[in-house]
Amino acid sequence: MNQPIKIVTVSDDSDDFVLSDADAQAIEHEKHHYEDPRAASIEALKIVQKRHGWVPDGAIKAISDLLGIPASDVEGVATFYSQIYRQPVGKHIIRYCDSVVCHITGFEEIVTELEKQLKIKPGQTTPDGRFTLLPTCCLGNCDKGPTMMVNDDTHVRLVPSNLANILEQYQ
């Protein structure tokens, strides 16, 4: 509260974004799995994100053109789903489970240690752009908690002392 409002200039790359041929082809391919091309919108966002790391404004427009649906609908979908990032994220995404069984087995200690090592809070990205730290709901490893995913890898039975070793694997 009462902090001066900082005006941050973000480089607007919406005009620069060009959907790669490979991505456009992958999206075209997805379209045929469904009765209506709209159904490929989430997969299209994931395809763009896989290459680009996140979904810039220009990609929303490109996907809307490709699927023949309004850009506002693509944006509506992009902002609804938690795994679609509409702002830049780190090279590696850490998603720690903060659900109830991990509450019992102690995810809070894990987050505290992650915050200490990365010097960021959940929802933030390290200044070097290496890691983004995000909470996620139950990862379905409740018998092996606390648990987290780094990118597509699942790490279970976490203990604070072992986190540095895990982070080391992601340069």
Partner 1 sequence: MSLSINKTAESHPLTWCLREDEQPVWLDEYRRKEGYVGVEKALAMHPDEVVSLVKDAGLRGRGGAGFPTGLKWSLMPKDESMNIRYMICNADEMEPGTYKDRLLMEQMPHLLVEGMIIAAHAIKAYRGYIFLRGEYVEAAENLRKAIEEAKLAGLLGKDILGSGKDFELFVHTGAGRYICGEETALINSLEGRRANPRSKPPFPAVSGAWGKPTCVNNVESICNVPSILNRGVDWYKGLTTNGSSDCGTKLMGFSGRVNNPGLWELPMGTTAREILENYAGGMQEGLDLKTWQPGGAGTDFLLPEHLDLPMDFEHIQKAGSRLGTALAMAVDHKINMVSLVRNLEEFFARESCGWCTPCRDGLPWSVKILRAIEHGEGQPGDIETLEQLCRSLAPGHTFCAHAPGAVEPLQSAIKYFRKEFEAGISGQANNLREIRGIQPNQQ
Helix (H) or strand (E) holding 65: helix 57-67
Q: Is position 65 an interface residue for partner 1 (rule: CB under 8 A)?
A: no
Element (H, E) at 170: none
CA angle 127, 129, 130 (to 5 degrees): 115
Looking at residues 150 to 169 of the shown chain, list those that interact with partner 1 (rule: CB under 8 A).
152
Site size with partner 1, rule: CB under 8 A = 42
**Residue 99 in the binding site for partner 1 (CB under 8 A):** yes
Stretch that binds partner 1, among 12-20, 109-117, 133-141, 161-169 (CB under 8 A): 133-141
CA angle 38, 44, 46 (to 5 degrees): 135
- Asked if 130 and 92 count as a contact pair (C-beta separation under 8 A), the reply is yes
- Part of the chain binding partner 1 (CB under 8 A), chosen from 10-18, 94-102, 125-133, 158-166: 94-102
Q: Is 117 in the site for partner 1 (CB under 8 A)?
A: no
CB neighbour burial string for 3-42, b if at least 16 within 10 angstroms, e if fewer: eeeeeeeeeeeeeebebeeebbebbeebbeeeeebbebbb
Q: Does 35 engage in binding with partner 1 (CB under 8 A)?
A: yes
Cα angle 27-30-33, degrees, rounded to a multiple of 5: 160
Write each residue from 11 to 30 as x if it is in contact with partner 1 (CB under 8 A), else as -, in one continuous string.
--------------------
Quote the CA–CA distance of 20 and 26 in Å, as a whole number: 10
Q: Write each residue from 36 to 55 as x if it is in contact with partner 1 (CB under 8 A), else as -, in one continuous string.
A: x-xxxxxx-xx---------
Piece of the chain touching partner 1 by CB under 8 A; list 32-40, 109-117, 123-131, 162-170: 32-40
Based on the shown chain and the rule CB under 8 A, indicate whether residue 125 belongs to the binding site for partner 1. Answer: no
User: Which one-letter amino acid corresponds to residue 13?
Assistant: D
The footprint of partner 1 (CB under 8 A) covers: 33-36, 38-43, 45-46, 67, 69, 73, 76-77, 80-84, 95, 98-101, 103-105, 136-145, 149, 152
